[in-house]
Amino acid sequence: MAAKSSRKPAYAARSGSAGSAALRAKLGTALANPYIGASGAGCLFLASLATLVLVTSDPHAGNPIVRLELTKIGATKNAPEGWREALTAEEPHEAPLKPSELKLSRAPFPPESAEESHKPAFEGEKPPPPVQQGPGLPRAPIAGLTAPGPGGAPLPIIAADGRTAADVYARPFTPNGRPKVSVVIGGLGLNAQTTRAAIETLPGEVTLAFAPYAEGLQGWIDLARQHGHEVLLETPMEPADYPENDPGPYTLIAANRPEDTVRKLEWLMSRATGYFGLVNDLGARFIDNDQAMNTFNAVLKARGLAFVDDGVAARRAGPIPRVSADRVIDDELSASAIDAQLRALENGASARGQSLGSGFAYPVTINQVRLWAAGLQARGLQLAPASALARR
């Protein structure tokens, strides 16, 4: 009985087949109508979109999104890069890169408010008096310290009487027996506002480092020396993550032949005069290579230049005056974090007799260094140019 009740009569099966055929015929006729077809497609699209929104709870879920790791786009903990020039490597047939063709990938951080710019650097201290930069330094080039290079542009040389750029272009310094503390501010020349702020508001003892690709580089160096600052020239060197992180077409590459390194160095050094030495821009991979650094040191020795680094070459000695930074003061971009690093510099100087910090030309860095430097003497330390810490 159960078996019979589960089976359909023959006439029912035939009636169902006929009904299905009629339904399919009507549906086909409807779909053939272009208006009905278009309406159906639209309804299907809207239904799909509504389902997507309900599932993801994000009305923009269908839009393309690009996410970058912060470590890939910045050298600081709290900020995107914003301070590396947007450069592409030159092809062999291309003309040399012109400074006017360079553009910043992002404007520097906005300056702090007037109220913040005058607040004390450390709790309990009064706002500092206007900066005293002292007498200006002689205008470059100084006779006997340059000669035409392969391209005709002037290159530093050791003078006939033995004078070197490392000595003559350094800011004169007389120690007073107190621990010496120095700061180098780099990345200058790429932004006129921050460059002028560093030159005009920081004490003359603060060493300034300029990017070789900066437009009007010689004018900036002249202005810096006029305000009493000694100057370094930044040298782009191959970082550990090259070519993903590319500091420009004249980057010194560890695997290059020595003559290629010399050629790039000559181009960089011919950009201006008046600097007492070179300072690295990145360079972990280049500095780790013995042959590359031997070539680099030989060029600087022959040219009478010093070498200052941000700490990456601390284990590298050389036959030239050199010093490595003990710490980078603005890895974290906040006034309190920079103040903490500057205090650590003071502690290092008190313990070892001298200490060097390295920073970038962010408005907050320039401001905090200015405030900090004004109270150094009262805290028993002497602000010194980086050249005063360099040793052979």
How sure is the predictor about 391, in pLDDT bands with cuts at 50, 70 and 90?
confident
pLDDT value for 131: 61
Name the residue among 251, 187, 197 with its Cα closest to residue 223: 197
Q: Do 32 and 113 lie in a common domain?
A: no
Q: Do 161 and 260 lie in a common domain?
A: yes
Would the pLDDT of 262 be above 60?
A: yes
The pair of three-digit structure tokens given for residue 105, joined into one six-digit string: 């990938």
pLDDT per residue as tens digits for the range 16-55? 444 445 545 554 555 555 555 555 555 555 555 444 434 3
Q: Do 49 and 125 lie in a common domain?
A: no
Q: Do 27 and 113 lie in a common domain?
A: no
- Let me know if residue 360 belongs to a domain: yes
Q: Do 141 and 39 lie in a common domain?
A: no
Domain coverage including residue 360: 72-389
pLDDT per residue as tens digits for the range 154-195? 999 999 999 999 999 999 999 999 999 999 999 999 999 999
CA 83, CA 108: separation in Å to the nearest integer?
7
**Bridging pattern class, strands 146-148 and 231-237:** unpaired
Among the residue ranges 159-163, 257-261, 313-317, 333-337, the one predicted with the least confidence is: 313-317
Q: Do 117 and 40 lie in a common domain?
A: no
- How far CA 82 is from CA of 43, 190, 354, in Å, comes to 46, 11, 32
Domain count, the chain: 2
How sure is the predictor about 368, in pLDDT bands with cuts at 50, 70 and 90?
very high
Would the pLDDT of 123 be above 50?
A: no
Q: Do 32 and 119 lie in a common domain?
A: no
pLDDT value for 59: 36
pTM listed for this prediction: 0.70
- Let me know if residue 52 belongs to a domain: yes
Whether 357 and 185 have beta carbons less than 8 Å apart is answered as: no
- Let me know if residue 137 belongs to a domain: yes
Average pLDDT, the chain: 77
Q: Do 283 and 325 lie in a common domain?
A: yes
Greater pLDDT, 83 or 259: 259
pLDDT per residue as tens digits for the range 73-113? 233 333 333 334 333 333 333 233 333 333 322 233 333 34
- Sort 88 into a burial class: Cβ within 10 Å, 0-12 / 13-18 / 19+: exposed
**Bridging pattern class, strands 322-324 and 103-104:** unpaired
Phi, psi of 159 (to 5 degrees): -65, 160
The pair of three-digit structure tokens given for residue 310, joined into one six-digit string: 């941000």
- Let me know if residue 317 belongs to a domain: yes
Phi, psi of 225 (to 5 degrees): -65, -35
Q: Is the peptide bond before 179 cis (omega within 30 degrees of 0)?
A: no
- Let me know if residue 234 belongs to a domain: yes
Q: What is the SS3 assignment for 103?
A: strand
Q: What is the CATH number of the domain that holds 261?
A: 3.20.20.370
- Let me know if residue 247 belongs to a domain: yes
- Let me know if residue 1 belongs to a domain: no
pLDDT value for 176: 96
Longest dimension (CA), the chain: 124
Q: Do 104 and 188 lie in a common domain?
A: yes
Name the residue among 163, 225, 216 with its Cα closest to residue 191: 216
Q: Do 36 and 177 lie in a common domain?
A: no
The mean pLDDT of 360-384, rounded to a whole number, is 97
Would the pLDDT of 375 be above 80?
A: yes
Q: Do 122 and 50 lie in a common domain?
A: no
How sure is the predictor about 142, in pLDDT bands with cuts at 50, 70 and 90?
very high
Among the residue ranges 86-95, 115-124, 273-282, 368-377, the one predicted with the least confidence is: 86-95
Phi, psi of 41 (to 5 degrees): -65, -40
pLDDT value for 42: 57
Q: Do 48 and 76 lie in a common domain?
A: no
- Let me know if residue 210 belongs to a domain: yes
Type of residue found at 256: N
